[in-house]
Amino acid sequence: MNARRKFLKKTSLISAGGYAFLKTGSIGAAIAHADEKRASSWPGMTYRKLGVTNFNASRLVYGCGAALSRRPANRLLSLAFDQGVNVFDTGFDEYYGDSERNMASFVNTHSDDIFVISKAWIPGSEPNKEYSPTEAKKAGTDWLKQMDRSLRNLKLEHVDAYYVMSANNSSLARSEEMRRAFEKARDAGKVSHWGLSSHQNASEVLQAAIDTGWYSLVMIAITPAGWYDWEKRDTLNGTPDMKTIRPMLDIARQKGIGLVGMKAGRLLAGASMGGRGNGSVFNSHYSKNLQGAPFNDFQKSYAFVLENGLDVVNADIQNVEILEENFAAAAMAEQYVV
């Protein structure tokens, strides 16, 4: 954004939050007041019980990982919370920088009213590796060490859910050694629910969760056109579309697994964000009702996945404009998807 646009944006926000500016002389106070006024016209958030967690979750999950990796965003988090967002997702510092530390004060202020998720990957995990019991036991030990570090960063003694991040290996997802590692942390009061997040082999990993019955939550990379492959930055070769995948998603939910979507609109982003920048890539999957909705392309993708088998969708939220867009898509999805 050039200097003139920055100036115009600031002055327009100050105008909207003029009283706060006149009272305090603070541009920050004026912007906060303007944002609160803006949010007062947003639709009411909708909710879905998140599997066996029994938590009544906002259908929009605030993705804090990348958004808070460099600096805090308490004002934005508080705005989302005040409007009804009650699930906040982050991840360990080796990948997400200072995200956990930067959300610690917000999380501790609202810990009784929100559902907090963090996650860490297994060092050296490979999609097609077959883990021996010894290797799986070490993987579990390493994962628990990461969990302890996450708790220290968040300044919490307990987190609602902790995922095996980038759980692209179905062998590890079915590992008794990993299950025992989670149970050790659960029994110590560090975590209530176990989850998986998968960017590759998501179908196989979700099937492992269904078969074992161990997991409360699974976060999957999925788009209206089907499974998303993180390595290829594209839909998986030969993937069925989401409506064809739907029966598997329904079985998972019937088994008590809360389903969280991610990367729903990634193909719509520019190349620098791992996408194609093609806003029409999912249009053939949409009903006329959704195509005519007052949504942009990203909002349509979020609305579609929410009404085709997912409980909630995780979206990275960097500013109030993105928050407003994602919020509206989650809150109004059922009105436009047939």
β-pair type (60-63, 312-316): parallel
Same domain, 208 and 140: yes
Same domain, 33 and 71: no
**Residue type present at position 36:** E
Tokens of 318: 């960097």
Could you say which DSSP state residue 250 is in?
Answer: H
CA distances (Å), origin 317, targets 11, 116, 271, 320? 23, 16, 19, 8
CA distance 207 to 217: 13
Q: Sort 204 into a burial class: Cβ within 10 Å, 0-12 / 13-18 / 19+.
A: middle
Q: Residue 137: which residues within 8 A CB-CB, separation 6 or more?
A: 177, 181
Dihedral sign of CA atoms 18, 21, 27, 31 in order: negative
Same domain, 35 and 172: no
pLDDT over 60 at 198, yes or no:
yes
Same domain, 5 and 83: no
Same domain, 23 and 119: no
β-pair type (115-121, 312-316): unpaired
* The pLDDT value given to residue 5: 43
Same domain, 119 and 17: no
Mean of pLDDT values over 262-268: 92
Same domain, 291 and 226: yes
pLDDT over 80 at 276, yes or no:
no
Q: Which domain holds residue 27?
A: 1-41
Tokens of 30: 């004026």
What is the pTM for the complete model shown?
A: 0.90
Same domain, 131 and 18: no
Q: pLDDT (tens digit, 9 = 90+) per residue, 122-173?
A: 977 778 888 999 999 999 999 999 999 999 999 999 999 999 999 999 999 9
In the block, tokens 């007041």 appear at 33
pLDDT bucket at 191, cuts 50 / 70 / 90: very high
pLDDT over 80 at 320, yes or no:
yes
Return the percentage of the chain with pLDDT > 70, whole number.
88
CA distance 99 to 316: 12
Same domain, 67 and 181: yes
pLDDT bucket at 319, cuts 50 / 70 / 90: very high
Q: How many domains does the chain have?
A: 2
Same domain, 199 and 228: yes
By mean pLDDT, which of 53-62, 75-84, 226-235, 257-266 is the weakest?
Answer: 226-235
Same domain, 32 and 49: no
CA distance 200 to 229: 5
Task: Report DSSP letters for 159-189, one per residue.
Answer: EEEEEEET---HHHHT-HHHHHHHHHHHHTT
Among 148, 154, 84, CA closest to 114: 84
Same domain, 237 and 121: yes
49: domain CATH number? 3.20.20.100
